[in-house]
Amino acid sequence: MKIGIIVTDQGDWTALALVRSIKKIGATPILLRLDEITACVGSPNIPGTCDIDAVIVRDVGAGAFEQVSFKFDLLKILASDIPVINTPEAIRNAANKYYSLHLLQKSGLPVPKTAVTCDPDVAIKILDDWGEIVIKPIFGYKGIGITRFRSDPERSIQNRDSIDKILAERGVLYIQEFIPMNRDMRVFVVGKTVAGSIYRYAETGWITNLSQNGRPLPCVLNQSQKEASVLAAEAVGATFAGVDLAETKDGFVILEVNGTPSGKGIFDACGVDVTKNIVELCSTMARR
Ligand SMILES: Nc1ncnc2c1ncn2[C@@H]1O[C@H](COP(=O)(O)OP(=O)(O)O)[C@@H](O)[C@H]1O
Ligand SMILES: [Mg+2]
């Protein structure tokens, strides 16, 4: 059996762990970079993929609109032939923070108060009503570009300026109530089970992403956190996912679902290699 791994950085921990896990089940890993593929319309296969039995997407990477679209089109064409996990649709759903939260909310899952607007006056009104908010990029990742605002008459001019600046950059404002916390939870779901979970403690500031100096520590989930995480992955259509939970005074909310999650934090904190679960599940789906 040959299992393709879509990578952007083949030295990344999760990519290397997937290679090891694929070899451990006696299959052959084939690393594929979508930006190295030349696709000719009318050719029967995408070059380099004709004898692959299934594909695991580690990472698609960011880029210009046309470049990202092309990569997703390649994944869609591959997925029409062989199992691809996660599917391009699931990755796209999860990557979009507004659409994914809509799907989660529709599935009855707890999410933070969130609004999206192109009107800066509406954003200021929300800030004043909610007291404290974060504004995030809709297609953000690794905690990059998240800004926190506190409603304060003495800061109203600065707040308005910053909101106008973000709006000029992005054309839209994804606004969420600020949830006070010094840690969040990252839950790694594979199939219908939780393969691992960690707390991520904010070491500097308030953002907990490991790429922003967050510290991973083991975390034991309660049953409803486990069930909600599995349902969240399902809501976006993901076979495996990293689900971010924030604890609140009433329980917890789901901040987002990651369709191309790293397994490194869970390995570092708990010694659990989630790629083993992904590869085992993938092998049961492969075409031979
Ligand atoms: N509503 C919020 N209130 C407080 N902190 C938040 C909120 N949303 C996000 N954060 C912090 O920012 C981090 C990144 O946010 P997240 O929505 O997961 O986006 P990303 O895709 O960048 O990881 C979270 O892990 C958390 O530490
Ligand atoms: Mg996150």
**Pocket-testing residue among 204, 255, 257, 262, ligand 1, by greatest number of atoms within 8 A of Cβ:** 255
| Overall number of domains in the chain | 3
Domain that holds residue 142: 114-177
Name 240's bridge partners: 190
Instruction: Write down which residue in 123, 145, 177 finishes a domain.
Output: 177
- What pLDDT score does 49 carry? 86
In this structure, of 9-23, 41-55, 110-124, 147-161, the range with the lowest mean pLDDT score is 41-55
Residue 239 sits at φ, ψ, to 5 deg, of -75, -35
Tell me the per-residue pLDDT of 183-235, one tens digit each, with 9 for 90 and over: 999 999 999 999 999 999 999 899 999 999 999 999 999 999 999 999 999 99
Contact at 8 Å (CB) between 7 and 60? no
Same domain, 147 and 231: no
Q: Indicate whether 208 belongs to any domain.
A: yes
CB atoms within 10 A of CB 71: 22
Q: Indicate whether 285 belongs to any domain.
A: no
Q: Does ligand 1 have an atom closer than 6 angstroms to the CB of 178?
A: yes
CA of 255 to the centre of ligand 1 (A): 6
Average pLDDT over residues 139-149: 96
Q: Indicate whether 278 belongs to any domain.
A: no
Q: Which of 261, 238, 195 is nearest to 59 (CA)?
A: 261
Instruction: Write down which residue in 122, 151, 177 finishes a domain.
Output: 177
Predicted TM-score (pTM) of the model is: 0.96
Same domain, 142 and 207: no
- Residue 258, pLDDT above cutoff 70: yes
